Protein backbone atom coordinates (compact mmCIF):
# COMPACT_ATOMS: atom_id res chain seq x y z
CA UNK A 1 0.00 0.00 0.00
CA UNK A 2 1.28 3.41 -0.90
CA UNK A 3 2.48 5.66 1.88
CA UNK A 4 2.04 8.74 -0.26
CA UNK A 5 -1.16 10.56 0.59
CA UNK A 6 -2.22 13.50 -1.46
CA UNK A 7 -5.88 14.43 -1.43
CA UNK A 8 -6.95 15.61 -4.87
CA UNK A 9 -10.41 16.69 -3.76
CA UNK A 10 -12.11 16.49 -0.38
CA UNK A 11 -15.27 14.43 -0.22
CA UNK A 12 -18.40 16.50 -0.24
CA UNK A 13 -16.87 19.41 -2.13
CA UNK A 14 -17.68 20.71 -5.58
CA UNK A 15 -14.87 22.08 -7.72
CA UNK A 16 -15.24 24.22 -10.81
CA UNK A 17 -16.30 22.22 -13.84
CA UNK A 18 -15.49 22.40 -17.51
CA UNK A 19 -19.17 22.08 -18.43
CA UNK A 20 -19.67 25.77 -17.69
CA UNK A 21 -22.36 25.17 -15.12
CA UNK A 22 -22.23 27.87 -12.46
CA UNK A 23 -20.86 26.72 -9.08
CA UNK A 24 -24.08 27.22 -7.11
CA UNK A 25 -26.13 25.30 -9.64
CA UNK A 26 -23.53 22.54 -9.84
CA UNK A 27 -23.57 22.18 -6.04
CA UNK A 28 -27.36 21.70 -6.02
CA UNK A 29 -27.24 19.13 -8.79
CA UNK A 30 -24.28 17.26 -7.28
CA UNK A 31 -26.18 17.03 -3.98
CA UNK A 32 -29.25 15.67 -5.78
CA UNK A 33 -27.18 13.18 -7.78
CA UNK A 34 -25.41 11.95 -4.65
CA UNK A 35 -28.80 11.34 -3.04
CA UNK A 36 -29.89 9.32 -6.07
CA UNK A 37 -26.55 7.52 -6.17
CA UNK A 38 -26.79 6.49 -2.52
CA UNK A 39 -30.43 5.42 -2.86
CA UNK A 40 -29.64 3.44 -6.00
CA UNK A 41 -26.92 1.55 -4.16
CA UNK A 42 -29.37 0.70 -1.36
CA UNK A 43 -31.69 -0.68 -4.05
CA UNK A 44 -28.83 -2.58 -5.68
CA UNK A 45 -27.88 -4.29 -2.42
CA UNK A 46 -31.47 -5.18 -1.60
CA UNK A 47 -32.08 -6.61 -5.07
CA UNK A 48 -28.88 -8.69 -4.85
CA UNK A 49 -29.97 -9.98 -1.44
CA UNK A 50 -33.30 -11.09 -2.92
CA UNK A 51 -31.55 -12.53 -5.99
CA UNK A 52 -29.44 -14.70 -3.69
CA UNK A 53 -32.29 -15.80 -1.41
CA UNK A 54 -35.28 -16.28 -3.72
CA UNK A 55 -37.03 -19.65 -3.46
CA UNK A 56 -40.25 -21.16 -4.63
CA UNK A 57 -42.17 -22.13 -7.72
CA UNK A 58 -41.01 -19.13 -9.75
CA UNK A 59 -37.42 -19.25 -8.54
CA UNK A 60 -35.71 -19.22 -11.92
CA UNK A 61 -37.65 -16.30 -13.44
CA UNK A 62 -37.37 -14.23 -10.28
CA UNK A 63 -33.70 -15.08 -9.77
CA UNK A 64 -32.91 -13.92 -13.31
CA UNK A 65 -35.11 -10.81 -13.08
CA UNK A 66 -33.63 -9.73 -9.74
CA UNK A 67 -30.11 -10.24 -11.09
CA UNK A 68 -30.90 -8.14 -14.15
CA UNK A 69 -32.61 -5.45 -12.07
CA UNK A 70 -29.59 -5.27 -9.76
CA UNK A 71 -27.35 -4.90 -12.80
CA UNK A 72 -29.56 -2.05 -14.08
CA UNK A 73 -29.30 -0.33 -10.69
CA UNK A 74 -25.53 -0.72 -10.68
CA UNK A 75 -25.28 0.74 -14.19
CA UNK A 76 -27.51 3.67 -13.17
CA UNK A 77 -25.30 4.29 -10.14
CA UNK A 78 -22.26 4.41 -12.39
CA UNK A 79 -23.91 6.97 -14.70
CA UNK A 80 -24.91 9.11 -11.69
CA UNK A 81 -21.40 8.98 -10.19
CA UNK A 82 -19.70 9.85 -13.46
CA UNK A 83 -22.06 12.76 -14.11
CA UNK A 84 -21.66 14.30 -10.69
CA UNK A 85 -17.89 13.95 -11.00
CA UNK A 86 -18.05 15.75 -14.36
CA UNK A 87 -19.93 18.54 -12.58
CA UNK A 88 -17.02 18.91 -10.14
CA UNK A 89 -18.43 16.79 -7.33
CA UNK A 90 -17.24 13.74 -5.48
CA UNK A 91 -19.48 10.65 -5.63
CA UNK A 92 -20.55 9.34 -2.24
CA UNK A 93 -18.69 6.03 -2.18
CA UNK A 94 -18.34 5.01 1.46
CA UNK A 95 -21.09 2.50 2.38
CA UNK A 96 -21.74 4.26 5.69
CA UNK A 97 -22.08 7.62 3.93
CA UNK A 98 -24.30 6.05 1.29
CA UNK A 99 -26.61 4.77 4.00
CA UNK A 100 -26.74 8.23 5.60
CA UNK A 101 -27.25 10.01 2.25
CA UNK A 102 -29.89 7.68 0.81
CA UNK A 103 -33.55 8.58 1.06
CA UNK A 104 -34.48 4.90 1.20
CA UNK A 105 -33.75 2.32 3.85
CA UNK A 106 -32.33 -1.17 3.28
CA UNK A 107 -34.72 -3.77 4.71
CA UNK A 108 -32.01 -5.44 6.81
CA UNK A 109 -30.26 -8.79 6.75
CA UNK A 110 -33.25 -10.99 7.61
CA UNK A 111 -34.59 -13.14 4.78
CA UNK A 112 -38.28 -12.69 4.00
CA UNK A 113 -40.70 -14.61 1.82
CA UNK A 114 -40.45 -13.51 -1.81
CA UNK A 115 -43.78 -11.65 -1.81
CA UNK A 116 -42.67 -9.52 1.16
CA UNK A 117 -39.25 -9.03 -0.43
CA UNK A 118 -40.79 -7.83 -3.69
CA UNK A 119 -43.21 -5.53 -1.84
CA UNK A 120 -40.21 -4.01 -0.05
CA UNK A 121 -38.43 -3.61 -3.40
CA UNK A 122 -41.46 -1.97 -4.96
CA UNK A 123 -41.67 0.50 -2.08
CA UNK A 124 -38.01 1.39 -2.54
CA UNK A 125 -38.46 1.73 -6.29
CA UNK A 126 -41.37 4.10 -5.72
CA UNK A 127 -39.33 6.36 -3.45
CA UNK A 128 -36.45 6.43 -5.94
CA UNK A 129 -38.82 7.17 -8.83
CA UNK A 130 -40.23 10.17 -6.95
CA UNK A 131 -36.71 11.43 -6.23
CA UNK A 132 -35.61 11.00 -9.85
CA UNK A 133 -38.65 12.95 -11.04
CA UNK A 134 -37.88 15.80 -8.64
CA UNK A 135 -34.26 15.85 -9.74
CA UNK A 136 -35.17 15.87 -13.45
CA UNK A 137 -37.19 18.99 -12.70
CA UNK A 138 -34.37 20.51 -10.61
CA UNK A 139 -31.77 19.95 -13.32
CA UNK A 140 -34.10 21.34 -15.97
CA UNK A 141 -34.90 24.43 -13.86
CA UNK A 142 -31.17 25.02 -13.32
CA UNK A 143 -30.45 24.75 -17.04
CA UNK A 144 -28.55 21.45 -16.83
CA UNK A 145 -30.38 19.70 -19.63
CA UNK A 146 -27.77 16.95 -20.03
CA UNK A 147 -28.19 15.85 -16.42
CA UNK A 148 -31.97 16.03 -16.82
CA UNK A 149 -31.72 13.76 -19.87
CA UNK A 150 -29.52 11.23 -18.05
CA UNK A 151 -31.96 11.19 -15.14
CA UNK A 152 -34.89 10.69 -17.54
CA UNK A 153 -33.15 7.65 -19.05
CA UNK A 154 -32.54 6.20 -15.58
CA UNK A 155 -36.15 6.99 -14.64
CA UNK A 156 -37.52 5.07 -17.63
CA UNK A 157 -35.55 1.93 -16.70
CA UNK A 158 -36.39 2.28 -13.01
CA UNK A 159 -40.10 2.57 -13.76
CA UNK A 160 -39.91 -0.43 -16.10
CA UNK A 161 -38.29 -2.61 -13.42
CA UNK A 162 -40.84 -1.45 -10.84
CA UNK A 163 -43.64 -2.33 -13.25
CA UNK A 164 -42.21 -5.85 -13.66
CA UNK A 165 -42.34 -6.27 -9.89
CA UNK A 166 -45.99 -5.20 -9.95
CA UNK A 167 -46.65 -8.06 -12.37
CA UNK A 168 -44.92 -10.57 -10.09
CA UNK A 169 -47.10 -9.39 -7.21
CA UNK A 170 -50.42 -9.94 -9.04
CA UNK A 171 -52.84 -12.32 -7.30
CA UNK A 172 -52.43 -15.09 -9.87
CA UNK A 173 -48.65 -15.38 -9.41
CA UNK A 174 -46.38 -16.51 -6.60
CA UNK A 175 -47.80 -19.09 -4.25
CA UNK A 176 -48.96 -17.17 -1.19
CA UNK A 177 -50.03 -19.97 1.14
CA UNK A 178 -49.86 -23.76 0.83
CA UNK A 179 -53.23 -24.09 2.58
CA UNK A 180 -54.93 -22.02 -0.12
CA UNK A 181 -54.05 -24.56 -2.80
CA UNK A 182 -56.06 -27.35 -1.17
Alpha carbon 105 to chain centroid distance? 11
- pLDDT, tens digit, for every residue of 2-55? 677 888 888 887 888 888 889 999 999 999 999 999 999 999 999 999 999 999
Considering the entire predicted model, what is its pTM?
0.89
- pLDDT, tens digit, for every residue of 131-141? 999 999 999 99
Please state which of the four CATH numbers 3.40.50.300, 3.30.70.260, 1.20.1260.10, 1.10.20.60 is assigned to the domain occupying 23-168: 1.20.1260.10
pLDDT at residue 129 in the model:
98
Statement: residue 111 has pLDDT above 90: yes
Domain ranges of the chain: 23-168
pLDDT at residue 179 in the model:
44
State the Cα–Cα distance between residues 57 and 141, nearest whole angstrom: 48
The mean per-residue pLDDT over the stretch 54-78 comes to: 96
Amino acid sequence: MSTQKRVLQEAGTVDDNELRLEQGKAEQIVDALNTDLASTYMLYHQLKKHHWNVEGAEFRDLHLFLGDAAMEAEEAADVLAERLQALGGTPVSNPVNQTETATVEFEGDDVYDIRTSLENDLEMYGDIIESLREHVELATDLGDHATAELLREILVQTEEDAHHIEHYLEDDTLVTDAAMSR
